Amino acid sequence: MDFEVTGSLMQSYNICKRQVWLMAHQIIPNQEHPYIEMGRLIDDISYDRDRKKLNFENVVIDLVRNDNGNLLVGEVKKSSKAEKSAKMQLLFYLYKLKQNGIVAKGQLFFPEERKKVDVYLTSESEAEVTNAIKDIIDIIHRDKAPSFKKIPYCKNCGYKEFCLS
Ligand code: SF4
């Protein structure tokens, strides 16, 4: 089976390796989970005026703006609690854009907190992304999902019923 590393997998990688495997193997999470619903709602109502989706390869970027002649790509998130994983997802997009000859700046948006965080692809963060890509590929090629380990994120995870049953 061929697997593609996506922004969603990169985001999950920093939360839970088991979630990476489950997503990559197309095990469908509980779509009714309130966290997912809330995420969708925020996705629908926030930053509508600027919204332009950018699709290329296996990458879909939420928000694209011209920022004084520079390309700005953004991700809208519910909360900054998982800022590190959101940042890795955005760095992955910046990395994919760079591979396609496009230099861009990133910005994370947390509308409920009225917070914005600038994200830049540096040589250090690029190395972090390429290492994570290698590790994700290694995880998803395993025969079995990494074993369940309870973490604080489980209570908000769409796979909660699956993992706890
Ligand atoms: S419920 Fe917990 S262990 Fe299971 S995929 Fe979600 S975060 Fe990972």
In a domain, 2, yes or no: no
In a domain, 1, yes or no: no
Domain region containing 160: 7-164
Neighbours of 16 (CB within 10 A): 21
- Any atom of ligand 1 within 6 Å of the Cβ of 19: yes
pLDDT at 25: 87
CATH at residue 45 = 3.90.320.10
CA–CA separation, 41 and 29 (whole Å): 17
Number of domains comprising the chain = 1
pLDDT at 48: 44
In a domain, 110, yes or no: yes
CA–CA separation, 89 and 104 (whole Å): 14
List the 70-76 sheet strands across, edge first. Answer: 51-56, 59-67, 70-76, 104-110, 115-119
Q: Find the 155 Cα to ligand 1 centroid distance in Å.
A: 8
- Any atom of ligand 1 within 6 Å of the Cβ of 27: no
Q: Please tell me the residue having the least CA distance from ligand 1 atom 4.
A: 163
Tokens of 113: 């907190």
In a domain, 72, yes or no: yes
Q: Find the 13 Cα to ligand 1 centroid distance in Å.
A: 11
β-bridge mates for residue 147, sequence order: none
Q: Find the 110 Cα to ligand 1 centroid distance in Å.
A: 23
* Sequential pLDDT tens for the chain (165 residues): 567 888 889 989 999 999 999 988 877 766 555 444 444 444 444 444 455 566 666 666 777 777 777 788 888 888 888 899 899 999 999 998 898 888 889 999 898 899 999 999 999 999 999 999 999 999 999 999 999 999 998 988 889 888 987
